Structure 1
Amino acid sequence: MNFFRIAVALLVPAVFLAGHAVARDEGRYADSPLKPWFDSLKSGKGPCCSDADGSVVADVDWQSKDGHYRVRLWGQWIDIPDDAVITEPNRAGRTMVWPMWGTVGISIRCFLPGSMT
Structure 2
Amino acid sequence: MTSSNRRPAHLSWLIVARTVGLCTVTFFGINTAYSHDLMRPELNAWFKSLKNKAGEPCCDSGDGQYAEAEWDMAKNGYRVLLKHPHRLDEPGQWFDVPNSVVLNRQNLSGRSMVWWWPSYADGRMTPLWRCFIPGPEG
Secondary structure at the counterpart of residue 43 of structure 1: coil
Q: Is the 8 A contact 1:38 1:50 kept in 2?
A: no
Question: Relative to 1, partners in 2 of residues 1:93 and 1:51: Cα closer, same or farther, differing over 3 Å?
Answer: farther
Count of residues paired in the alignment: 93
Q: Looking at both structures, which has the greater relative contact order when contacts are Cα pairs under 8 Å and sequence separation is at least 6?
A: 1
2:58 matches 1:48:
yes
Return the offset for 1:77. Answer: 0.8
The equivalent position to 2:98 in structure 1, one of 50, 58, 81, is: 81
Equivalent-residue separation in structure 1 for 2:35 and 2:71 (angstroms): 33
2:37 matches 1:29:
yes
- What are structure 2's unaligned runs of at least 5 residues? 1-27, 84-91
2:63 matches 1:64:
no
Return the offset for 1:52. Answer: 2.4
- What are structure 1's unaligned runs of at least 5 residues? 1-21
Q: Report the residue type matching 1:71 in the other structure.
A: V
Deviation readout 1:59-89 (Å, 9 max, x if unpaired): xx31102330010111111110001100111
Structure 1 vs Structure 2: percent identity of aligned residues?
34
Query: If the length of structure 2 is used for normalisation, what is the TM-score?
Result: 0.56
Question: Relative to 1, partners in 2 of residues 1:26 and 1:50: Cα closer, same or farther, differing over 3 Å?
Answer: same
Query: If the length of structure 1 is used for normalisation, what is the TM-score?
Result: 0.65
